[in-house]
């Protein structure tokens, strides 16, 4: 069965600096897949390249069996890939409702857009309660909920989340991860980049370790959690003695 997303030997450079040097992985329909690794490993650059914000210098990206690595970002979004970026990037001077409407800007199905507004409000009730509030007045956790909600408004087949728990309290972090699990149950495929490797892998069907711009390990989420190399490098556990 063809994966929903295939990334093959991806290489990406910022000028003379090669940030991604050979990343390969795949995401099956209905899966949660995590990319873990240290800061600067190339994870965010990989997501930005998949969504069309950056162009690879080599390698290929396939979505539903079709190459997308040369397509503009709006066409990639139109094919069903939504990206909730690192740092949330909500529009602070716009209301919650306006931010969510922007997430659906490629769509014309008004009735379905209204349905998705309700779906997002059910996932994150605070967005319904404060729909007329300016997004810039929100806390970090509320902005993260809005960023995910905005991405969901495109009705994606693949939702990419970049550091959704960054800067959040443990309670809000758990709320975000619970929501990611709910999205999977509803049929959304999720590609997750997350510094909280323990929480990410516990939720994931598969995981990939990205180190210095390359894929170095891959396995199921539970197997990676049990891997001594992952425990020592990313879970803060000393191995051996």
pTM exceeds cut of 0.85: yes
Return d(Cα 165, Cα 139) in angstroms, integer: 13
Confidence (pLDDT) at 240: 46
User: What is the widest separation between alpha-carbon atoms in the chain?
Assistant: 61
Q: Closest Cα to residue 42, out of 30, 57, 29?
A: 57
Distances 145 to 10, 78, 84, 105, 228 between C-alpha atoms, Å: 30, 22, 10, 19, 34
**Complete domains list, the chain, with CATH:** 5-234 (3.40.50.300)
pLDDT of 87 higher than 80: no
Render pLDDT for 175-231 as a digit per residue (tens, 0 to 9): 889 888 988 998 999 999 988 899 999 999 999 999 999 999 999 999 999 999 998
Q: Closest Cα to residue 209, out of 235, 190, 183?
A: 235
Confidence (pLDDT) at 92: 67
Percent of the chain, pLDDT > 90? Answer: 51
- Element counts in the chain: helices (H) and strands (E): 10, 10
Q: State both tokens at 59.
A: 């390698």
Higher pLDDT, 173 or 18: 18
- Rounded average pLDDT over 130-147: 81
Confidence (pLDDT) at 108: 84
Return d(Cα 112, Cα 150) in angstroms, integer: 15
């Amino acid at each position: 069965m063809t994966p929903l997303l295939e990334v093959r030997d991806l290489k990406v450079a910022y000028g003379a600096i090669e940030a991604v040097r050979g990343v390969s992985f795949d995401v099956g329909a209905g899966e949660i897949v995590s990319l873990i690794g240290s800061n600067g490993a190339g994870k965010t650059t990989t997501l930005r390249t998949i969504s069309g914000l950056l162009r690879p210098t080599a390698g290929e990206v396939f979505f539903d069996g079709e190459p997308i690595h040369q397509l503009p970002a709006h066409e990639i979004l139109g094919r069903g890939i939504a990206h909730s970026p690192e740092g949330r990037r909500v529009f602070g001077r716009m209301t919650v409702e306006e931010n969510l409407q922007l997430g659906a800007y490629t769509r014309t199905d008004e009735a379905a857009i209204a349905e998705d507004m309700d779906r997002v409000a059910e996932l994150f009730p605070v967005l319904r309660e404060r729909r007329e509030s300016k997004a810039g007045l929100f806390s970090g956790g509320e902005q993260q909920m809005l960023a995910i909600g905005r991405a969901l408004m495109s009705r994606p087949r693949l939702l990419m989340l970049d550091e959704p728990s960054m800067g959040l309290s443990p309670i809000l972090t758990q709320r975000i991860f619970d929501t990611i699990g709910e999205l999977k149950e509803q049929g959304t495929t999720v590609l997750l980049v997350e510094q909280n490797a323990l929480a990410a892998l516990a939720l994931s069907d598969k995981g990939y370790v990205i180190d210095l711009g390359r894929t170095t390990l891959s396995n199921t989420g539970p197997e990676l959690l049990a891997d001594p190399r992952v425990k020592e490098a990313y879970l803060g556990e000393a191995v051996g003695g």
